[in-house]
Amino acid sequence: MTTPPLWTVGDMAAAMSAEGSGPLPAAIVGLSIDSRTVSTGEAFFAIVGERLDGHDFVAKALANGAALAVVSQARRAEFPADAPLLVVPDVLEGLRHLARAARARSPARVIAVTGSVGKTSTKEALRVALRADGETHASTASFNNHWGVPLSLARLPETARYAVFEIGMNHAGEITPLVALVRPHVAIVTTVEPVHLEFFPDVAAIADAKAEIFGGLEPGGAAVINRDNPHFERLKRRAAQAGVERIVSFGENAKADARLLKYALQDDGSTVEASILGSVVDYRIGAPGRHFVLNSLAVLAAASLAGADLALCALALAGQRPAAGRGTRMELAIPGGRALLIDESYNANPTSMRAALAVLGRAPVHGRGRRIAVLGDMLELGAAATGLHAGLAEAVVESGVDLVFCAGPLMRALWDALPADRRGGWAANSEELEPQVLAEIQPGDAVMVKGSLGSRMGPIVKALARRYPAPAASDDLPVRG
């Protein structure tokens, strides 16, 4: 089946005020910024990043099947005269112009998601839920920054009925220009927690930065806010100041508009009864953990506000699956049996660490199996970092985790705070910790690996998968994070 065009090249050029050069196709089927993964028929945008300049990879992208490349006027002379190019003053700004054009032509109901924790999993849950009611477009992975948001928006098909975008930040003022591009009909703030404290005076300032999302809502749009969070009233006040008339709350609070009535946690998911804007629904979530239960309330409230069929969306949540590094599960073939590996290595903060430890505490073990946490430093916590790391010891004990392996100077604080019988090992970095973890795993264990991206815990996951490859008949277990 032929992939339908995403953009005609004429419309692209007009949106970006681009000058065409070389033999250009009539249309392109997608957009890429990575020459390694560009697909045949896509447009390659030569974005200049912090470490790499996309112009250095234009030739590779075209050789790998890109239909054309978008390049800057300053670099045009470096490419052959017959190269298929769209030439713009600045490539990233050109992408932003294309994103605005995508939003302007789209009839989709648009939802934007931000929050200290749970942005990506909530965005993915919305993708799953809304897809049951109509064509749905959503951001890829965690494309939530100054280039990820315009790229995701520029990829929005004209035929989509719903669109979901994740918007992130680690400094004040970063959400404002991004939400101005997205112009959502519904804006979700999942929660406000002590994340990126290195760049903020306190958590209240983080709440104010998250509240920037309300300033970009379309007229008549709705804000969806966590009523259980201590900053709910502050966020509600900021939404009202931004002119938002429809403010919807979610949580366990008896006054919540999307309220949790009952739930049951299992090791591979949860069952829920909730009242969503006055309608009682029963549903299953294909993800373990109370945090996913609470965020599902925001998902269903937002879906309902966007005009989707609530029953269809609730039913679809049983099909939720984990994003890479956010709770994906796989079996390890250990000599003498099997073990469970939970990959939470994409990122970490105090709230998500506690949630992941609670999930590990419910993970199945067999025989003499143990629940083992392999934890790396949580970054960008500023002066509070030592106390926040040490404070995880309580969650380790409460969750019934048997052994903890720690990597990094900050995780030394947790190591020192742990009861002696919970200490598995400590090392200065993940590379030094890896052999300790590999040597410890036994049949029946459940192992969870988590840390901030900069602490590089992902290689430990890969090392475990290489050393103890999954049985041939077993794919990843159906859970998500």
Q: Where in the chain is the domain with CATH 3.40.1190.10?
A: 106-319
pLDDT at 267 over 90: no
Structure confidence at residue 477 as a pLDDT band (50, 70, 90): very low
* 106-319: CATH topology: UDP-N-acetylmuramoyl-L-alanine:D-glutamate ligase (3.40.1190)
Q: Where in the chain is the domain with CATH 3.90.190.20?
A: 328-467
Model pLDDT for residues 411-444, shown as the tens digit of each residue: 999 999 999 999 999 999 999 999 999 999 999 9
Work out the number of other CB atoms within 10 angstroms of the CB of residue 110. 24
Binding residues for ATP: 115-121
| pLDDT at residue number 473 | 46
C-alpha dihedral, 283 to 286 to 290 to 292, nearest 10°: -90
Structure confidence at residue 472 as a pLDDT band (50, 70, 90): low
Binding residues: 115-121
CATH for 328-467 (1.10.10.370, 3.40.50.300, 3.20.20.70, 3.90.190.20): 3.90.190.20
pLDDT at 475 over 50: no
Residues 6+ apart with CB under 8 A from 291: 117, 118, 355
Model pLDDT for residues 198-225, shown as the tens digit of each residue: 899 999 999 999 999 999 999 999 999 9
- What is the end-to-end Cα distance of the chain in Å, rounded? 33
Percentage with pLDDT > 90 across the chain? 90
| pLDDT at residue number 4 | 85
- Domain 7-89 is classified in which CATH homologous superfamily? MurE/MurF, N-terminal domain (3.40.1390.10)
* Exposed e or buried b per residue across 452-480, where buried means at least 16 C-beta atoms within 10 angstroms of its C-beta: beebbbbebbebbeeebebeeeeeebbbb
Structure confidence at residue 141 as a pLDDT band (50, 70, 90): confident
